[in-house]
Amino acid sequence: MLAFISRRMAAAAAMLLVIGTIIFSLLIIIPGDPAELLLSTGGGSASPEAIANLRSNMGLDQPVLVQYVSFLYNTARLDFGTSIVDNGSISSVIALRLPRTLEIIVAGTILALLLAIPAGTAAGLRAGGKFDIATSAINALLTSVPGFVLGTLFIYFFAQVLGWLPAGGYVALATNPAQHLQMLILPSLTVGLHLATIVFRMTRASVLEMRGHDWVRTAVAKGLRRKNVVRRHILYNALGPIITVVGLQLGILLGSTVLVEFVYNWPGLSGLLVSAVEQRDYPTVRAVILTVAAIFIGINLVIDILSSLLDPRIRLQ
């Protein structure tokens, strides 16, 4: 087990190095000069002299190789440096924003699991029944509506028409817990409903497959209470693929809550990435992508270990 984990860790580090190098090269290649952009944001145009001065302040007048080596050296020491736009510490911005993105994802995931696992189990157990048909139809509808459309509709109904909830924004939990929770509802609902459709399909399929197995028939024949049959013999065995899917989705969500964050003005990590790309704030873009990649790889590692605990056969492979 220990060898398995350390092998995985080494592979993860190598993967991060490759990702870092690719990001670095891509940012060099894409057009757009941060100094020029910053000084022309207002539709104005700065003198070449002013742009050259700013480029030198930003450290962009250094040779590419020097920039690359210092990037690798600093990243290895977990020092992401400062933003070239406002000189703020990147690590502290990430430390501030990552929890907010995680907050939407965790809240959305809990919501998705609470909705989808019971609904998926019920639908799978009585496949073809009224409940199955109804939930599958709702599921198909939700799957086909993109998150940002759902978000826009929610804002329209809950903020503009009904006036129940704010249209978007963020207030820290410590500043005003009630307002914080109010602002969390719509983003996590949007993320959660979308994730729920995936978990629902997986649960339903998995339960459908498990309930046909011999051991389920045996358990029923033995006279076990049906509740226990469902819990211990069907759902427990059906959990493997569900955990894998949820784990993968968690990683994907880290990079893809961007639309939800944008629609609701939720200042998370994805929003930081988008504005950094727009401003060509190279160090910030690199730091955010590396952070997301590291978490993604970390989650996969955990999923591997969890799966091997649930199903010992995996350890032997």
Partner 1 sequence: MTPSDCLNPTRRSVLISLGAGVVALTLPQGALAQTPASILKFGLSTFPPTLKPFDNTGGAANTVKLMLYRGLMGYDAGGKLVTELAESVTWNDPTTAVFKLRQNAVFHDGSPVTAADVAYSLNEITKDSSTAYLKSDMKIIAAVEVVDDKTVQIKLKAPCAVFLDLLASYCCPVISKKSTDSAIIGAGPFTLKGSEKNVYIEVARFKDFYMADQPKVDGIRFIAYADENLRYAALEAGDVDLIEYLPWTQFDTVEASKTLKMKTTLGPFMFLLFNVTTGPFANPKVRQAVGYAIERQDVVDAAFAGRGKPLYGFPNPGGSQFDLADPAHEWKYDVEKAKALLAEAGYANGFECRLLATATYGMHQDTASVVQAYLGAIGINATLDLPDWGTRVNAGKDGKYDLAVHGTSGNYNDPDALWSLLYSGNPSYLQSFGFKSARIDGLLEQGRNEVDQAKRKAIYQQLAVAYYEEVPQVPLNWRIQAYAMKQSVEGFEQLPGFLSGSSAYALDETKFA
Residue ranges in 66-95 that form contacts with partner 1 under rule CB under 8 A: 85-88, 93
Q: How far is the CB of 230 from partner 1 (least distance, A)?
A: 5
From the list 278, 281, 285, 274, the residue with the least C-alpha distance to 60 is 281
Distance (Å, rounded) from C-alpha 205 to C-alpha 124?
7
CB-based burial label for 222 (10 Å; 0-12, 13-18, 19+): exposed
Residue (167 or 252) nearer to partner 1, CB: 167
Among 37, 127, 173, 248, binds partner 1 (CB under 8 A): 37
- Summarize the chain as % helix, strand, coil (round to 5): 80, 0, 20
* From candidates 74, 179, 256, 300, binder to partner 1 by CB under 8 A: 179
Q: Is 262 in the site for partner 1 (CB under 8 A)?
A: yes
Q: Is 18 in the site for partner 1 (CB under 8 A)?
A: no
Minimum CB–partner distance for residue 10 and partner 1 (Å): 36
Rounded to 5 degrees, what angle do the CA atoms 64, 30, 20 make? 60
Size (the chain), residues: 317
Stretch in the footprint of partner 1 (CB under 8 A) among 73-81, 109-117, 243-251, 291-299: 109-117
Residue closest to 116 by CA, chosen among 188, 186, 191, 204: 204
| Cβ neighbours for 261, distance < 8 A, ≥ 6 positions apart | 101, 104, 187, 267, 268, 270, 271
- In degrees rounded to 5, what are phi and psi of residue 89? -70, 125
User: Which position among 75, 135, 139, 279 is part of the footprint of partner 1 (CB under 8 A)?
Assistant: 279
Tell whether residue 159 is a contact of partner 1 (CB under 8 A). yes
Q: By C-beta, is 73 or 157 nearer to partner 1?
A: 157
First CA to last CA distance, the chain: 12
Q: How far apart are CA 71 and CA 24, in angstroms?
A: 9
- Contact range with partner 1 by CB under 8 A, out of 4-12, 17-25, 119-127, 137-145: 119-127
- Report if residue 40 touches partner 1, rule: CB under 8 A: yes
Q: Judged by CB under 8 A, does residue 288 bind partner 1?
A: no
Do 67 and 282 contact (CB within 8 A), yes or no? no
| Out of 23, 280, 283, 295, the residue judged to bind partner 1 by CB under 8 A | 280
Instruction: Tell the smallest beta-carbon distance from residue 141 to partner 1 (Å).
Output: 19
Site for partner 1 in 184-213 (CB under 8 A): 185
C-alpha closest to that of 271 among 258, 255, 288, 287 = 258
**Diameter of the chain by CA atoms?**
86
Judged by CB under 8 A, the residue of 1, 3, 29, 42 near partner 1 is: 42
Residue from 27, 94, 111, 238 touching partner 1 (CB under 8 A): that is 111
By CB neighbour count within 10 A (0-12 exposed, 13-18 middle, 19+ buried), where does 87 fall? exposed
* Contact with partner 1 (CB under 8 A) among 36, 103, 209, 304: 36
Q: Note whether 163 binds partner 1 by CB under 8 A.
A: yes
Find the part of the chain contacting partner 1 (CB under 8 A) among 39-47, 139-147, 236-244, 288-296: 39-47
Residues 129-148 within binding reach of partner 1 (CB under 8 A): 129, 131
